[in-house]
Structure 1
């Protein structure tokens, strides 16, 4: 009688633990970084809408900065203020740009540094 050896299938305990640890680290990164990324998209939305607004095109730089400072609390933007915006005019169109670093503490003395930047002309 010839016995056929059955091959084992499945995941080992060590493999399962490694997968859980990896999944936990990715989930922790996602939970820590998501609020800052959402804030970046809120800033992007604000400056794009401001650049298209006809009343602000006629106003000066100080008017644009005041308008940003009024809109920022609505979208819970706390990383930058109106004075941090770079405002210029290119081909009769207002260009509003910004750049700021954000340090996200992960655990212990380990942090993640993200450099956000954007402008009203970025697609």
Structure 2
């Protein structure tokens, strides 16, 4: 008498579903990656300005430094006026908060919100 043998594995439909899910997340990563790269560029600009400035620096000096960094790093999603100079305990801090709307497909978009605070030396 022959025993029934069962084959293990996924069907073609199962593989298609898995591939569709993987491709969707790869597409999402490709669309969102530039927004995060731009955020890290903005963050590094604020860090370098904060290291170069002090709490006694004037607002116009700080804005001039930020403008220079944004120009060098080709940052155009935010302007120098969007960077707030806040008073905190022990000095001042640079604060930025913005959002980036990314069109995914059709009428579907992703909204990514960023904020960063960097204390001045």
Could you tell me which of 82, 88, 91 is aligned with 1:90? 88
Q: Distance in 2 between matches of 1:74 and 1:10?
A: 54
Task: Name the SS for the 1:7 alignment partner.
Answer: coil
What residue is the counterpart of 1:43 in the other structure?
42
TM-score by length of 1: 0.88
Runs of 4+ displaced beyond 6 Å: none
Residue 111 of structure 1 deviates from its aligned partner by 0.5
TM-score by length of 2: 0.89
Task: Name the SS for the 1:66 alignment partner.
Answer: helix
CA contact (8 A) 1:103 1:111 kept: yes
Q: What is the root-mean-square deviation in Å for CA atoms of aligned residues?
A: 1.5
Residue 91 of structure 1 deviates from its aligned partner by 3.5
Residue 59 of structure 1 deviates from its aligned partner by 2.2
CA contact (8 A) 1:39 1:76 kept: no
Q: Distance in 2 between matches of 1:101 and 1:90?
A: 24
Q: Distance in 2 between matches of 1:23 and 1:48?
A: 36
2:115 corresponds to 1:112: no
Q: How many residues are paired up?
A: 119
Question: What 5-or-longer segments of structure 2 have no aligned partner?
Answer: none
Provide Cα deviations, 1:23-66, integer angstroms capped at 9, x if missing partner: 11101111110001011111111111211214x54321122112
CA contact (8 A) 1:51 1:94 kept: no
